[in-house]
Amino acid sequence: MKSPLIELIRWTDSFGIDDEWYDLDTVHEAREILSVGYNVGETLNYVYLATTFDRESATYSVAIAVYKPCIKARITLAEAGFE
């Protein structure tokens, strides 16, 4: 079985705007997020990162789906097949 890659992804997240009154020219800044995890899957639109991976059963837990158009940078840190 091939082990998943461990990746660092920098991406822009959606965010809520406080319940206040704003002028039309108010600028709201998006947040940049850093996520690190096992790349357990990828589709045309998403990268799936999990925080835990069990090599023996090839299962994972606690995952996030990062929307690809939001990705600003992506770095492979290692392969999970370490001994």
Give me the domains of the chain, ranges plus CATH numbers: 5-14+29-78 (2.30.30)
In this predicted structure, the answer to whether residue 2 has a pLDDT above a threshold of 90 is: no
Q: What is the rounded average pLDDT of the residues 9-28?
A: 92
Provide the β-strand partners of residue 79: 5
3-state secondary structure (DSSP) of residue 36 = strand
Q: What is the rounded average pLDDT of the residues 18-40?
A: 93
pTM for this entry = 0.82
26 vs 4, 14, 20, CA distance in Å?
43, 17, 12
CA distance 46 to 64: 10
CA distance 11 to 6: 16
User: Which 8-state DSSP code applies to residue 24?
Assistant: T
Convert the pLDDT of each residue in 42-68 to its tens digit.
999 999 999 999 888 889 999 999 999
What's at 36, amino acid-wise?
V
